[in-house]
Structure 1
Amino acid sequence: MIRSILFVCCILFLSAAASYNSVHVVSSTTDSLLYQQEKHFRNLRQLTFGGDNAEAYWSFDSKRVVFQSNFSNWGVQCDQIFTTAIEGASLKDNKPAMLSTGKGRTTCSYFLPGDKTIVYASTHLGGDDCPKEPERTPGGKYLWSVFPTYDIFVADLNGKIIKQLTRTEGYDAEATVSPKGDKIVFTSVRNGDLDLYTMNIDGSNVKQITNTIGYDGGAFFSPDGKKIVFRASRFNTEEEKTEYKELLKQGLVAPTNMEIFICNVDGSDLKQVTNLGKANWAPFYHPNGKKIIFSSNHHGQRGFQFNLFMINEDGTGLQQISYDNVFDSFPMFSPDGKKIIFSSNRNNGGTRNTNLFVADWVD
């Protein structure tokens, strides 16, 4: 959810990242949208052409994606959920189908088994208007809003809400679905902290799987559905922990220090994968189930330069994947392992736009 993230989810560094305008993309002989170092992408194609577009997640059949956008040309004031086919699709002159209500703010949509319904989080029960974004602190610290009116809903591909999955007070969002089609993982503040929970896809059998103080979110299942990868904030001092708790009371999170963790689907065997410093987030498993792709700003002098990196589950073999000079994030491999989709500030003509890009994946 950049804005709530585009926030949280799922989340945004987007606005901060986009404050430094993207410069021209290096052309290659085969792909004008690629940087020369981007050897794992082929046939890179831009899908959206305006606004902030992020958290695009594939259907089970690898033919469609759902995503969130605040593109004003599509008649929205803040993030709403849209869907588009991938093959032959271009949204340069076409508006995709909107699946959310158009009320409130939404985040983190995901297809359910069968590709006939989606799950997503929305604040619309708390009001028709877009909830207000937080102002920066006097020191300029970037903050995310953890809106307490977020709940998780199921909708069909006509945009009709057919079920509400969460009803607890406070933030419930960032839902993603197991490749096995049996479980959903999500982030909730129902216990007073931002922890991960799982539930069956019908909303039953809710179980808390993390319980350490700090933000746990943006979780995804491994390809076999046995593990979960997520981003988390942890604290070195009592002062940091106190600041986190005080901000959370105000419905805020300062996402400047996060690392990547994995655990079993029941929360056991918790392991920290990265120890890079700064903000490491938006993790997703490689199709082989042994590597993780994620977004990080650990490598740059500018805190808002985010690129994609790959790392082994045990924390070895760190490799840079993307090379845009401002922002690359929200990577997701298609279930068939052939393609990758991600958000980037590349090719935005010096604007603040963050667009969706899809490419063939080359190991």
Structure 2
Amino acid sequence: MKKIILFISVVALIDNNCFAQSTAVNDSLILSGEKHFKNVRQLTFGGDNAEAYWSFDSKKLTFQYTNHKNIQCDQIFFGGIPKNGKPFKTTCISEVKGRTTCSYFMPGNKQILYASTRGQSDTCPPVPDREKIKKYVWPVYDSYEIYVSDLKGNIQKQLTQNNFYDAEATISPRGDKIIFTSDRSGDLELYTMNLDGSDIKQITNELGYDGGAWFSPDG
């Protein structure tokens, strides 16, 4: 089945109620001479929007959003893919508690997996001063834990619970396993677990960053 590739831009209009609505752009976003892309649509406008992933039925997207005017650190949103010309309406499910990242739909498309620092504090954790560092730095918070939420924002289950970084989780296309990144060994390594958080196994052990992993299409 062919899928339309949708790009989340770095811009969206989101109000203080943690709700977003944006209008699709009619002008072509395809560069002259492009041979591989077609039907490119811009979905978001304003703020920072990133890490957008499809639901299992390819009808929804989940992503993280921040806007320094009203949402100070990344929060998790999802929305149904609109028909041409219709706005992309999204809903926040992370309740603006702590910082969040790396959301992914669970099998059945009624729950979303994501990492959050909410277990330690409802406020946003401090971030590195990138003006001084002069480069992009991803903060590895030991308060990041992996949660499962329903589409109304109710936490259904906490899959990890420790004082280590647990994030960057994705799910096998078969819908039976989760792969995620953790520094529980003292280094950032990849781990797998069942959908309920059981049977955690470390699958990498080389020094250096191992993360941001996905399963192959056959699982």
Q: TM-score range by the shorter chain?
A: 0.7 to 0.9
Cα distance, 1:137 vs. partner? 7.8
Aligned-partner residue type, residue 175 of structure 2 = G
Is 1:70 the counterpart of 2:66 in the alignment?
yes
Partner of 2:39: 43
DSSP-derived class of the 2:119 partner:
helix
Matched residue count = 193
Alpha-carbon separation, structure 2, partners of 1:136 and 1:46? 28
In structure 1, the partner of 2:78 is 83
* Secondary structure, counterpart of 2:212 in structure 1: strand
Residues 218-233 of structure 1 mapped to structure 2, 5 A cutoff: 218-225=212-219
In 1, the alpha carbon distance for the partners of 2:205 and 2:130 equals 29
Q: How far apart, in 1, do the equivalents of 2:169 and 2:33 lie? A: 33
For structure 1, the residue ranges without an aligned partner over 5 or more in a row are: 1-13, 15-29, 226-363
Is 2:184 aligned against 1:190?
yes
In the TM superposition, residue 144 of structure 1 has moved relative to its aligned partner by 1.8
> Are the structure 2 counterparts of residues 31 and 223 from structure 1 closer, same or farther at C-alpha, using a change threshold of 3 Å?
farther
The residue number in structure 1 matching 2:196 is 202
Distance 2:33 2:80 in 1: 29
Q: Quick one: distance in 2 between partners of 1:142 and 1:122? A: 20
Q: Which residue is 1:126 aligned to? A: 120
What is residue 320 of structure 1 aligned with on the other side?
A: none
> Are residue 156 (structure 1) and residue 116 (structure 2) matched?
no
Partner Cα distance (1:170, 1:139) in 2:
24
Letter in 2 for 1:68: Q
The Cα shift of 1:45 comes to: 0.6
Matched to 1:128, the amino acid is D
Shift in Å, 1:138? 5.3
- Residues 1-363 of structure 1 mapped to structure 2, 5 A cutoff: 32-71=28-67, 75-88=70-83, 89-91=86-88, 96-136=90-130, 140-225=134-219
Whole-Å separation in 2 of the counterparts to 1:151 and 1:213: 22
Distance apart, 1:77 and its partner CA: 1.6
Among the aligned pairs, what percent are the same residue?
A: 61
Change in Cα spacing, 1:139 to 1:60, as seen in structure 2 (3 Å) is: closer
Amino acid at match of 1:106: T
Summarize deviations over 1:295-351 as a string: whole Å, max 9, x none.
xxxxxxxxxxxxxxxxxxxxxxxxxxxxxxxxxxxxxxxxxxxxxxxxxxxxxxxxx
Does the 8 Å contact 1:31/1:44 carry over to 2? no
Structure that is richer in helix per residue: 1
Structure with bigger gyration radius: 1
SS at match of 1:186: strand
Determine helix, strand or coil for the equivalent of 1:216.
coil
Distance 2:135 2:182 in 1: 23
CA–CA distance in 1 between the matches of 2:75 and 2:130? 24
Q: Name the amino acid aligned to 2:33.
A: Q
Unaligned runs of 5+ in 2: 1-9, 11-25
Q: Distance in 2 between matches of 1:138 and 1:104?
A: 24
What TM-score, normalized by structure 1, do the two folds share? Answer: 0.51
CA RMSD of aligned residues (A): 1.9
Q: What is the CA–CA distance in structure 2 between the aligned matches of 1:86 and 1:142, rounded to whole Å?
A: 31
Given the superposition, is the C-alpha separation of residues 151 and 116 from structure 1 closer, same or farther in structure 2, using an over 3 Å criterion?
same
1:78 counterpart letter in structure 2: C
Equivalent-residue separation in structure 1 for 2:41 and 2:68 (angstroms): 22
Higher relative contact order (CA 8 A, sep 6+): 1
> Could you say what secondary structure the match of 1:191 adopts?
coil
CA deviation profile, 1:153-208 (whole Å, cap 9, x unmatched): 00001110010000122100000000000000000010000000000011000000
C-alpha separation in 2, matches of 1:142 and 1:82: 23
Q: Counterpart of 1:45 in 2: which secondary structure? A: coil
Distance 1:135 1:72, change over 3 A: closer
CA, structure 1 residues 39+150, in 2 after alignment: closer, same or farther (shift >3 Å)? same
